[in-house]
Amino acid sequence: MPHIETARVNEVIGVHIGTIQETAQMLNVNCDLQELEAHLATLERAVADLKESLAGIPHKPAQT
């Protein structure tokens, strides 16, 4: 993969990881249940978006 494509892939992955990290930092025991559910929904969407982006990149998927 040429360098420009690699940089773009890294940028896309980085954006998704940044969203996941920011959302995860909002989780704490002092949140009320509605707030926790909202943060978890955002986190689930961010993880799904990252998985979707990774699926579009040719690579060997992790074996589960």
Q: What is the pLDDT of residues 20-32, one digit of tens each?
A: 999 999 999 999 9
* 20 contacts 50 by C-beta, under 8 angstroms: yes
Classify 11 as helix, strand or coil.
helix
pLDDT per position as a tens digit, 32-47: 999 999 999 999 999 9
Max CA separation in the chain (angstroms): 47
Residue found by looking up tokens 């494509």 in the block = 5
CA atoms within 13 A on the CB side of 27: 14
